[in-house]
Amino acid sequence: MVEQFEGTWKLASSDNFDEYMKAIGVNFATRQMGNLAKPKLVISVGDDGVITMKSETTFKTTETKFKLNEQFDETTADGRTTKTTFTCENGKLVQVQNWEGKTTTLEREIQDGKLTAKCVMDDIVAVRTYEKDA
């Protein structure tokens, strides 16, 4: 199920991401870098079931390792410490982050050969689309 997400993906488009970052509490300077960054997303699955998701930009590289359905402590690219769980639901890779009484959800799915990441915080929705890197 998760195998369809494996590979290297580059950001092709981003819609409403600044508003999403504002909603989750990202400061102005970090938002500016986040808006300029064109991340490359590298997803791999190990034989032991551990999934690695690496986001690489000219500013910062972050790497998250996880198993589905197991909560873990995540330090996000913007510095938040969250209790995070990844699940697979209806062909989507769903990431739920909880911190300081807040919750955000990131749903990733493959549509027409592209990886779409829908980022939701309360009533704010951002959509980031990645294309497979050859």
pLDDT digits (tens, 9 = 90+) for 47-100: 999 999 999 998 889 999 999 999 999 999 899 999 999 999 999 999 999 999
Domain ranges of the chain: 2-132
pLDDT-derived band at 1 (thresholds 50, 70, 90) equals confident
Q: Which residue has the tokens 């409403």?
A: 16
User: Which top CATH class is 2-132?
Assistant: mainly beta
What is the token pair recorded at 55? 């986001």
Number of C-beta neighbours around residue 39 at 10 A: 22
Contacts 24+ apart (CB under 8 A), 54-60: 59/33, 60/33
Per-residue confidence (pLDDT) for residue 134, from 0 to 100: 67
Supply the DSSP symbol for 113: T
34 sits in which H/E element:
helix 28-36
b/e 50-87 (16+ beta carbons within 10 angstroms → b): ebebbbbbeeeeeebebeeeeeeebebbbebebebbbe
